[in-house]
Chains A and B, each alone.
Chain A
Amino acid sequence: AAGVIQSPRHLIKEKRETATLKCYPIPRHDTVYWYQQGPGQDPQFLISFYEKMQSDKGSIPDRFSAQQFSDYHSELNMSSLELGDSALYFCASSQTPERNYGYTFGSGTRLTVV
């Protein structure tokens, strides 16, 4: 079965640079969620989109932005990167109204800021 696809798998950036993470949800899933997991931490919710509109907003820094496109894939844009942005970034998807059956997570993008 198709899963949630995230790219790239790994990314190394320098401070103050920009990064773009991509997420391709499971077919027919209309909701995408972004999470940030710092070293040794639990995943923290950043932002979500339903039918290309922002549906919920969590602890996403102002330096970050995201959007969902017409094909339902989503991109997380991160600017002015800081060392503290180094983390594992997960994308998850669900099909509304079944979202409370649980989200399907991608394998994550490991971002390292040096």
Chain B
Amino acid sequence: AQTVTQSQPEMSVQEAETVTLSCTYDTSESDYYLFWYKQPPSRQMILVIRQEAYKQQNATENRFSVNFQKAAKSFSLKISDSQLGDAAMYFCGTSGNTPLVFGKGTRLSVIA
């Protein structure tokens, strides 16, 4: 079974600043993957970044990067140079041999 915990229901950040969203997970699978999805008000689920659990190197996609701590089962998302368009719900998730499971989400507000 897989569980994902996002302990921050809401976060806010000033435009151009950096924010980190937290995520912890638990899984019984030895080969698994971790994801961050963004859900803006348009409600579309958009893949932000993914991480293979067997890779030690943290994934990076432009302004988005992760801090993957496998032993601690932690997978946080860092957003640098925050932009107004980053305002959305962010869901952390994990999948492997079983389908993608999400956490409860973190609502990110960006203040101009």
Q: Interface residue count for B (Cβ, 8 Å)?
A: 22
Residues of B28-67 contacting chain A, CB below 8 A: 33, 35, 37, 42-47, 50, 52
Q: Which chain B residues border A104 with CB–CB below 8 Å?
A: 47
Contact B91 A42 (CB under 8 A): yes
The interface stretch among A21-29, A62-70, A76-84, A95-103 is: A95-103
Contact B99 A33 (CB under 8 A): yes
A-B contact count (CB 8 A): 45
Alpha-carbon gap, A88 to B47, bound state (A): 18
B100 in the interface (beta carbon within 8 A): yes
Contact A99 B95 (CB under 8 A): yes
Alpha-carbon gap, A103 to B91, bound state (A): 13
Number of chain A interface residues as a range: 20 to 34
Contact B102 A42 (CB under 8 A): yes
Contact B99 A105 (CB under 8 A): no
Q: Which chain A residues border B43 with CB–CB below 8 Å?
A: 88, 107-108
For A101, the closest partner residue in chain B by CB is B50
On whether A102 and B35 interact (CB within 8 A), knowing A42-B91, A90-B45, A92-B45, the answer reads: yes
Q: Which chain B residues border A41 with CB–CB below 8 Å?
A: 104
Q: Which chain B residues border A102 with CB–CB below 8 Å?
A: 33, 35, 47, 50
User: B23 CB to closest chain A CB, in angstroms?
Assistant: 12
Q: Which chain A residues border B42 with CB–CB below 8 Å?
A: 107
User: A14 CB to closest chain B CB, in angstroms?
Assistant: 24
Contact A33 B100 (CB under 8 A): yes
For B91, the closest partner residue in chain A by CB is A42
Residues of B within 8 A of A (CB): 33, 35, 37, 42-47, 50, 52, 91, 95-96, 98-105
Residues of A within 8 A of B (CB): 33, 41-43, 45, 48, 56, 58, 88, 90, 92, 99-105, 107-108
Task: Give 9 CB contacts A-B under 8 Å.
Answer: A42-B102, A45-B100, A45-B101, A88-B43, A100-B33, A100-B95, A102-B47, A105-B46, A107-B42
Q: Nearest 5 pairs between A and B by C-beta?
A: A105-B45, A100-B33, A42-B102, A102-B47, A45-B99
